[in-house]
Chains A and B, each alone.
Chain A
Amino acid sequence: MGLAALVVGVALGAGSLWYMLFRAAPTPYVSVGIWRMNPLAGSTGNDPYSRLRIAITSILALNKSETIYFEALADNDGAPLTAACDYTLIGQPPAARWWSVTAYGPDDMLIASDSGRYSASAASATTLATGEVEIALTPDGSGPNGIATGSGRFELLLRLYQPAPDLAAAPESAPLFRLVKGACRA
């Protein structure tokens, strides 16, 4: 009887905390196309729930004036990004001192590949005549400025180091890379 109360009580306490963190008041993401940004990343939370949410979702992140992080987990239709499909990111380089796009597996770790093409960045990416940058997202990282997506689901992280003041002030209006979905394999 006592042990049962303990088990049920702990489960109820942990469950209610999870509900408060991720359901009752979910992270107030700022969305731009496929990208979303957690405005709390790197900040000092002003209430205990915010502080715990920051610790879980963005530990060791830099604050917004230093770096803005946009993540993408799904395509334009809301379907999870998967290496079963090819994609292309295209757009003007973001207004920041430096930018990079990196692919991660569902465990948030870098994706192993023979090519070692983990990211495309302001330093490595070639630009089209239009000034735009095209980034191929393919299983082996082949294609222009290619990033390897591996064999399963993946996520993208766009880092903007020392973003332009206008972008930092209004990230919801930032012109970011668009996603074009290509062929999918069975």
Chain B
Amino acid sequence: MKIVKWLLAVLVIAAVTHAALLYFGPSLVMNRAMAVVAAGSGINTMSHAPRPTADTDRIVRSSPDLLYSICPYDLGDGPLRINAEVPPGTYWSMSFYDMNTNNYRVINDGQASAGAVLIVLMKAGTLGPAPAGAELVASPTPRGIVLIRTLVNDERSLQAIDTVRRRAACTTLQMPLE
């Protein structure tokens, strides 16, 4: 009888472990990634990583041909204002990831025809009117990551491209929207 109870306990613990890891696994992975990128500059701040090399590489499979700017966000204190300039003549994209690691939105240089992007990032279900000139984006989860990729397509233009991409920023907005 004791062994039956023991086996039942093992099965229940196994099922709970399986379900918990399955359900919370993606956010655990994302939490880990956010902790790595937020270690330097914190949450709701855009950090501009140096060009990846074997010495500076922090995220697996970084591209040495891209410049990464990253803003780990938490919309608990309100919406986030994200502004960026798009360097001319090269590939550029701003991608949004929720806590389940889903890439729920991408804006690339072809779509940013004005050469600049202004986003107000809000929690899904809380969307209001967009401030003048801004596009509203709804985040499926309150926390996540905004990642900007800028391609160095010409080594001679590296400095100019780097200067422009470093103008990207993310800051918490106060309600009502500024």
A-to-B contact residues, CB < 8 Å = 1-2, 4-6, 8-10, 12-14, 16-17, 42-45, 48-49, 51-52, 54-56, 59-63, 66, 97-98, 100, 102, 104, 107-113, 116, 118-119, 121-124, 157, 159, 161-162
Contacts and interface: CB of A to CB of B under 8 A. Distances in A.
Q: Mostly helix, strand, loop or mixed at chain B's interface?
A: mixed
A62 B95 contact: yes
Interface string B135-153: 0000000000101010111
B164 to A, nearest CB: 17
Given A17-B21, A121-B65, A116 B59 contact: no
B178 interface: no
A161 B153 CA distance: 12
A12 B19 CA distance: 12
B57 A109 contact: yes
A116 B53 contact: yes
B30 A55 contact: yes
Nearest to B106: A66
Tier of interface size on chain B: 35 or more
**Of residues A17, A98, A122, which shows the largest number of chain B Cβ atoms within 10 Å of its Cβ?**
A17
B100 interface: yes
Contacts of B106: 62-63, 66
Interface string B50-72: 00111101011111110000000
A60 B10 contact: no
Given A1-B6, A60-B145, A123-B153, A162 B108 contact: yes
11 contacts: A2-B9, A51-B102, A55-B100, A59-B33, A60-B95, A66-B93, A100-B63, A100-B65, A111-B54, A112-B54, A123-B65
Given A109-B54, A112-B54, A116-B53, A55 B26 contact: yes
B127 interface: no
A60 B55 contact: no
Contact of B101 (A51, A66, A113): A51
Given A62-B95, A62-B103, A159 B63 contact: yes
Given A119-B64, A123-B65, A5 B57 contact: no
Contact of A51 (B13, B26, B54, B149): B26
Interface string B1-33: 000001001111111111111110110011001
A56 B6 CA distance: 33
B65 A108 contact: no
B29 A13 contact: no
Contact of A108 (B61, B93, B149, B155): B61
A16 B147 contact: no
Nearest to B101: A55
Contacts of A121: 65
A124 B63 CA distance: 14
Contact of B21 (A13, A100, A159): A13
A43 B63 CA distance: 20
Given A16-B14, A123-B154, 13 more contacts: A1-B6, A6-B13, A9-B11, A14-B17, A14-B21, A54-B26, A56-B29, A59-B30, A59-B101, A66-B108, A113-B54, A116-B53, A121-B65
A63 B16 CA distance: 32
B73 interface: no
A55 B25 contact: yes
Interface centre among B11, B25, B30, B104 (most CB of A within 10 A): B25
